[in-house]
Chain A
Amino acid sequence: MFISDLFIAFIKYSFKLIKSNGWLIGLLTVLVIVFQGLILPAQTQQPVTIKTLVRADEAQQLQPLVTKFNQQHSDIRFQIVEAPSDSNQVEDLYTSSFLLGNSPYDLIYMDIVWTPKFAAAGWLEDVSDRLSDTEAQQYLEGDIAGGMYENKLYRIPFRSDAGMLYYRQDLLEEAGYEPPETFKELLEISQDLQKQGLIEWGYVWQGKQYEGLAAMFVEVLQGSGAFWVNPDTLEVGLDRPEAIEAVEFLRQAIATKVSPPGVTTYAEEEARLLFQNGKAAFLRNWPYVYSLALESPIAGKYSIKPMVHSVGQNSGACLGGWGIGIAKNTKHPDAAWEVIKFLSSEESQREFILETGFVPSRTALFNDQAIVAKYNYYPKLLDVVQSSALRPPISQYAQTSDILQRYLSAAITGKMTPEKAMQAAAKETRNLLKG
């Protein structure tokens, strides 16, 4: 009642203002008309505007590059619209803008896993002819492969991302261990460190049912010599013995108390906090943790290496990262390409990386003088990134990933045996991709 009284009083007051200041309203109206008549036409000869939608925190970080671009180009105005910080929500916003038809975005700043879906839906412009082979070779191979759909390129990589193993160097030295190479060594070293009371938990990773679970699992799969879905033949490999062994490793980690029971609810941040607070010896995470942990109790005590694997197999680093594509319905594809060329240039990437500590998508930058001077671990990072594993680049990836997430989550929470879970996941995935 109180609020509604206030509201009514406010409206009454507004009416009174209008009544007593009729001349003021008139003057304002005239001004608006003059403005529209004189000033707006002058602006119609303005440069073409190229818009894109980027997660809020990253939009801030890109701002210096935007300003620089607009200073250099008088005929194009590049503009970034800020989106929510959660990348799922950005995907939804792009999706709904395309579904509605007249999308306001000329460029699509996209996560690697969106590419096949957006390309299959016909929302992306084929940019294969715009990038020469020699130019393409300057990027990380996996990053270019992740931008392809049915042998055409739809996305130019801007910044890369890859999963890796963080380990506590100080603890390993104290106990006299080399960094682990295999799954088995990781578990054994963890148990020993825990037994000696050097650390509370061994290995923390992303076990929550969400996309990060699939990203983490791709690495374990590759390390076990297994595969998820072959993008060319759509063959599903989840129920093969090697894949079941991969799940077995995760189960083992929980069963032997190497990983905390709560690991099945952890996303990146929960895992990072445990590691950073000195509560875990090993961590699977993305490169962003490295610079954050430099200002934590474990500063100077940790290092990184490629993910562990089975005997006789190789490491896999799940490739993430962001790139830029051109929207099919843009009226200015050439201007949009100018923006892409500018952003993905070596110079812009160097500037952006130095500012933010993200991972470059150009191979040369990992050994770049200026970058190594600031981040001395980047040459090591190149090893990690080059052993990359892709999540299957298929148009129905989102659904495929959800199936895996559900059954993998069932397996690691003990609701199903690894064998049963993977068989069910494989069966459902085959049904989906067949239909």
Chain B
Amino acid sequence: MLNKQEKITGWLLLIPALLILGLVFIYPIARAFYLSWFTENLGTQLQPVFAGLGNYQRMIGDGRFWQSIYNTSIFTVFSVVLELFLGLGVALVLNKSFFGRGIVRTISIIPWALPTAVMGLAWAWIFNDQYGVVNDILSRLGLIDTGINWLGTPALAMIALIVADVWKTTPFISIILLAGLQSISEDLYEAHRMDGATPLQSFYQITLPLLMPQILIALLFRFAQSFGVFDLVQVMTGGGPAGTTETVSIYIYSTIMRYLDFGYGAALVVVTFLLLIAAVGITSLMLKKVRA
């Protein structure tokens, strides 16, 4: 048991951390909640007016908001799932010892280390309809006659974004999973092999269950990150064509920074925040069940 003196010292030592936490997390969140109850739009009036649930009601009928939620969900689900499978594959390869493994490991992180805006520009050129590499390869293979307009066609633009994102963040997942793989003892596999298990069986019965904590962490990180994707979309499509790649972050940015509609922007932030927390909660519950 701590005596009183020790307890006080303990709290005193915690104060700086609590202050910082309050300043950078709790205050902004509380402020966004508070603002979301007001109509505050510098384009229409200068004084904020209490609006009650007005901003939330407006959101229900705001097709652009729901489309951005839909776009973001599609982007998140496809990119995270693809990254997970590819990342697992890469991690398994990198975990085997082969000649030049150190170099390969280093190279494999490069996409993750590149600034997103830079690699976004590069991908925009790769998918360019006249000069792009993708169309060049496809036409050399004889698959297409005229260049496909990747970034200008509603369904294809999202695919292009997902491809770029998968390229960039697969290394992140594979590094996390690689760390997990290295912590699994070789003895387990050996014992399993003695019992007559095939490699595939050991993968399902040893690797996968023991890797679950790392998979969970990687999933949660990536989920939260890609739900908030901004830079990649801003650079590659700017939300177009026809708003089919506009993500929630881009919509919120426009509402606040360009339309100066702070009240509604705050309400968008609050709802997105709650949706994200719910989604992350459900995912982790589901994964825990799978583990159990």
Contact = CB atoms under 8 A, between A and B. Distances in A.
Interface of A: 91-92, 95-96, 117, 120-122, 207-210, 260-265, 270, 274, 395-396, 398-399, 402, 405-407, 409-410, 413, 415-416, 428, 435
B243 A209 contact: yes
A121 B43 contact: yes
A435 to B, nearest CB: 8
Most A Cβ at <10 Å: residue of B151, B238, B240: B240
Contacts of A264: 149, 152-153, 241
A95 B129 contact: no
Given A117-B43, A398-B259, A399-B259, A262 B152 contact: yes
A415 B154 contact: yes
Interface of B: 42-44, 46, 63-64, 128-130, 146-147, 149, 151-154, 237-244, 254, 257-261
A179 B243 CA distance: 36
A407 B64 CA distance: 11
12 contacts: A117-B43, A208-B152, A209-B239, A261-B152, A262-B152, A264-B241, A406-B64, A407-B242, A409-B240, A409-B242, A410-B241, A410-B242
B210 to A, nearest CB: 27
Contacts of A92: 257
B255 to A, nearest CB: 8
Contacts of B258: 91, 95, 398-399, 402
Contacts of A260: 129-130
Contacts of B149: 261-262, 264-265
Contacts of A120: 42-44
Contacts of A415: 154, 241-242, 244
Contacts of A96: 257
B238 A209 contact: yes
Contact of B129 (A91, A117, A121, A262): A262
A395 B130 CA distance: 38
Please classify the interface of chain B as helix (H, G, I), strand (E, B), loop, or mixed, using the class held by over half of its residues: loop
Contacts of B153: 264, 413
A121 B243 contact: no
Contacts of A402: 254, 258
Contact of A117 (B46, B130, B254, B260): B260
Contacts of B64: 406
B36 to A, nearest CB: 17
A209 B242 contact: yes
B240 A210 contact: yes
A33 B261 CA distance: 48
A276 to B, nearest CB: 13
B241 A413 contact: yes
A28 to B, nearest CB: 32
A415 B158 CA distance: 14
A409 B241 CA distance: 6
A399 B149 CA distance: 27
A138 B236 CA distance: 42
B243 A410 contact: yes
Contacts of B129: 260-262, 265
B190 to A, nearest CB: 31
A435 B58 CA distance: 10
B43 A406 contact: no
B130 A262 contact: yes
Given A260-B130, A399-B43, A95 B257 contact: yes
Contacts of B147: 261-262
A430 to B, nearest CB: 14
Contact of B260 (A95, A210, A270, A413): A95
A280 to B, nearest CB: 11
A270 B128 CA distance: 10
A96 B43 CA distance: 15
Contacts of B152: 207-208, 261-265, 413
A149 B197 CA distance: 79
A122 B46 contact: yes
B3 to A, nearest CB: 39
B242 A261 contact: no
Given A117-B260, A399-B254, A406-B242, 13 more contacts: A120-B43, A121-B46, A122-B42, A208-B238, A209-B241, A260-B130, A264-B152, A265-B152, A274-B130, A399-B259, A399-B261, A405-B240, A415-B244
Nearest to B154: A415
A117 B257 CA distance: 12
A48 B155 CA distance: 56
A82 B247 CA distance: 30
Contact of B241 (A121, A265, A428): A265
A260 B152 CA distance: 11
B44 A395 contact: yes
Contacts of A262: 128-130, 147, 149, 152
A435 B53 CA distance: 15
Most A Cβ at <10 Å: residue of B63, B151, B152, B239: B152
Contacts of A207: 152
Contacts of B46: 121-122
